[in-house]
Structure 1
Amino acid sequence: MTTRDSRPAAAGWAAGPLLGFDTETTGVDPFSDRLVTAALVSRGPRGADGSRGQQVRTWLADPGVEIPPAAAAVHGITTERARAEGRPAAEVLEEVAAALAAAMAQGTPVVVFNASFDLTLMESELSRHGLAPLSERLGRVPAPVLDPLVLDRAADRWRKGKRRLSDMCSVYGVRVDEALHTAEVDVAATLDVLEAIARVHPTIGHTDLAALQVLQVDAHRAWAESLNRWLARQGRTPDADPGWPLAAQG
């Protein structure tokens, strides 16, 4: 995945710095499942030649529970490997949380695809291990956060098709050189998709971060409420959570 192009440097928040974040976990419930891997990708401002400095940090944790085969099949980390190579979960969570809180406190946007999952999982895991959640460290709901999934829904509401990260890479012309579902590869792809959204939808790229937080809260709630109405009409359980950047239901 490249971090160099010939387009002019972006303005506003899209010019950087940005901090991308992703996790791989034991399952899909952010309140009860556990952290397995985490990645942070820090990108500095884009230079005049299109280049952009990038730093990558990754962690492997021993979640302290069995990793289900279905989860291991997605991210490739088995229980045996996590126990042999992973660090204690509490140590990993503290380091990741400290980095996230420091960035947010400085006003650096944290970029997370489907942020309500990863950030809710972090809050749940931090509390589980007796560590201060991000909300407590910051004295507020975690922000600034930029979620390409939520921003894409808001900017192109009626586009048909799925909106997985791989789908959005195709929509926005982001080339991924490696398989997705390793945290560091997913983070780089997420950052590239966000930058593409800012170019394709200039209104988003030129909206300030405070306004974007409100836009994303409202857009996610509207999406969840619409989906829940549809699910109810189909006789299915309306289970889309309206909370963003933290899930509302536990």
Structure 2
Amino acid sequence: MELKLNRPICFFDLETTGVDVAKDRIVEIAIFKVYPNGNKESKTWLVNPEMKIPFLSTQVHGITDEKVANEPTFKELSGQIYNMIKDSDLAGFNSDRFDIPLLAEELLRAGVDFDMKNRVSVDVQTIFHKMEERTLSAAYKFYCGQLLENAHSAEADTMATYEILKAQLERYPELENDMKLLSEFTTRKKSVDFAGFIALNDKGQEIFTFGKHKGALVEKVLEEEPGYFGWIQNADFPLYTKKVLTAIKLRKLNNKLS
């Protein structure tokens, strides 16, 4: 089964220095782009993270400091990467909780104003977990009947994710071959920022999901405690969370002025 697309979709996978979205960096990125007319293109880049790769991370993906020492930095690659994904929906394996938030941080750090406003994301892992509860290698064997060679290679994981989604659509007739509906199915919660520090309540209003203001309306907190905004901006929160919070504050200000 081929995907029914109204716009291109980019399957992608990251290998990184670690799992902290705010602090860790990309060391490899693979993107597999599928167009509505069936055309496909694939790119893989090794990335110099400008920091030491922890030994435990190297044990997972096999990428060493020496291997990336002469590779371009993410900032140097950011234009190519953004040009490949800017017109596309996004898909990956655990991408909503990790790959997309970390990619967004890297792009924002490189000066690229990335957001998800005009695109959807499909997390193939969520479909898998809702239907079968497994891992990527097990998913590939279960859905595609093959062993996943070179697991934790960004390119191998990316291609496997693409094949798994097609197989999932074949296996589950209740799943619509529509990226917007698949995005809704794979969305775990109504987060406004990728990291989940700001979410929507039942009325569609932004609320904080952490700390002393957990459950409180963001606009109300910013109005009653202006210093809270500055604290978040200066603390170790993801750049995308700070970007979202700034947008909410500016919206409130514009509403007052109008």
Q: Same fold (TM over 0.5)?
A: yes
Task: After TM superposition, give the deviation of residue 20 of structure 1 in Å.
Answer: 1.4
Residue aligning to 1:235 = none
Moved more, 120-129 or 65-74: 120-129
TM alignment of 1:1-20, pairs within 5 A: 9-10=1-2, 12-13=4-5, 18-20=9-11
Residue aligning to 2:19 = 28
Larger radius of gyration: 2
Match of 1:194 among 137, 160, 165: 165
Task: After TM superposition, give the deviation of residue 183 of structure 1 in Å.
Answer: 0.7
Q: How many Å separate the matches in 2 of 1:185 and 1:244?
A: 31
CA RMSD of aligned residues (A): 2.7
Residue aligning to 1:228 = none
Give, as a single letter, the amino acid of the residue that structure 2 aligns with 1:39.
A
Residue aligning to 1:248 = 196
Residue aligning to 2:63 = 77
Change (3 A) 1:83 1:112: same
Task: After TM superposition, give the deviation of residue 122 of structure 1 in Å.
Answer: 1.0
Contact 1:20–1:40, Cα closer than 8 Å, also in 2: yes
Residue aligning to 1:209 = 179
SS in 2 for 1:202: coil
Counterpart check, 1:126 vs 2:107 = yes
Q: How many Å separate the matches in 2 of 1:97 and 1:166?
A: 28
Q: How many Å separate the matches in 2 of 1:110 and 1:83?
A: 29
Give, as a single letter, the amino acid of the residue that structure 1 aligns with 2:100.
L
TM alignment of 1:1-250, pairs within 5 A: 9-10=1-2, 12-13=4-5, 18-43=9-34, 54-84=40-70, 86-102=71-87, 104=88, 109-116=89-96, 117-129=98-110, 131-135=111-115, 140=117, 143-154=119-130, 156=131, 159=132, 163-176=134-147, 178-206=149-177, 208-217=178-187, 220-221=188-189, 243=191, 246-249=194-197, 250=237
Q: How many Å separate the matches in 2 of 1:65 and 1:20?
A: 26
Q: How many Å separate the matches in 1 of 2:114 and 2:60?
A: 27
Task: After TM superposition, give the deviation of residue 32 of structure 1 in Å.
Answer: 1.3
Change (3 A) 1:18 1:176: farther
Contact 2:90–2:122, Cα closer than 8 Å, also in 1: yes
Report % sequence identity. 27
Give, as a single letter, the amino acid of the residue that structure 2 aligns with 1:213.
S
Task: After TM superposition, give the deviation of residue 212 of structure 1 in Å.
Answer: 2.8
Contact 2:108–2:114, Cα closer than 8 Å, also in 1: no
Structure 2: state its 5+ residue gaps.
198-236, 238-258
Greater RCO between the two (CA within 8 Å, min separation 6)?
1
Task: After TM superposition, give the deviation of residue 113 of structure 1 in Å.
Answer: 0.8
